[in-house]
Structure 1
Amino acid sequence: MEIFTMATATLTSKGQITIPIQVRAALGLETGDRVEFVEMENGQFSMIAASKTVHDLKGLIRKPAMPVSIEDMNSAIAAQGAKAG
């Protein structure tokens, strides 16, 4: 893992920190955004922006060329279930 810059913050008695401005800018964080702490190897943690909503995912997946009916979906699910059982 390569480290480019280092920023520090101080933990308050309430368990709060202020995220340094260069970190907020790099993560694209704004007031009210959420962050996630992901445990990595050797007890280290990575902080990632968790500010995206479901609405941000719109347009990520293309629409199918042909629409599929609920009946067709149910038939496909039943067929797969019959194969697995």
Structure 2
Amino acid sequence: MPRVTTKGQVTIPKEIRDALGIEPGDELAFEETDSGYTIRKEEPTTAEGDDPFEKYRGSAESDETMPERMRRLRGEYPRDVDDETDEDADSEVEA
């Protein structure tokens, strides 16, 4: 059975965290009911109560797939493998 610490903290059992989808950093809401309180995971919001991701919606629209975008952002795509000649490869081995 979880206990409340002197700082008012309590560990939520793993089974409950998994069932509610609670992860570190998530915000929770406690709501009073006739029989006690309920706990639920809150959606992320800004201080004004807005969706913090709204301004980014649609900004990544592209015909590229996600793996293609990630390769391009990492500088891995397109990867030029034909640029190195045999002569360049030989000089690297000798050096």
TM-score (norm 1): 0.50
Query: Which structure has the higher relative contact order (CA within 8 Å, separation 6+)?
Result: 1
1:34 and 1:9 mapped to 2: Cα distance?
Answer: 19
1:36 to 20, 26, 29: 29
Larger Rg: 2
What per-residue deviation string (whole Å, max 9, x for no partner) do you get for residues 45-72 of structure 1? 000001344248x7xxxxxxxxxxxxxx
CA change 1:51–1:10 in 2 (3 A) is farther
Structure 2 gap segments, 5+ residues each: 46-50, 58-95
CA change 1:10–1:41 in 2 (3 A) is same
**Aligned residue runs from structure 1 range 1-85, under 5 A:** 8-42=1-35, 44-53=36-45, 54=51, 55=53
Which structure's residues are more often helix, by fraction? 1
Which aligned segments of 4 or more residues in structure 1 are displaced greater than 2 angstroms? none
1:22 and 1:46 mapped to 2: Cα distance?
Answer: 16
Q: How many residues align?
A: 49
Q: CA RMSD in A?
A: 1.9
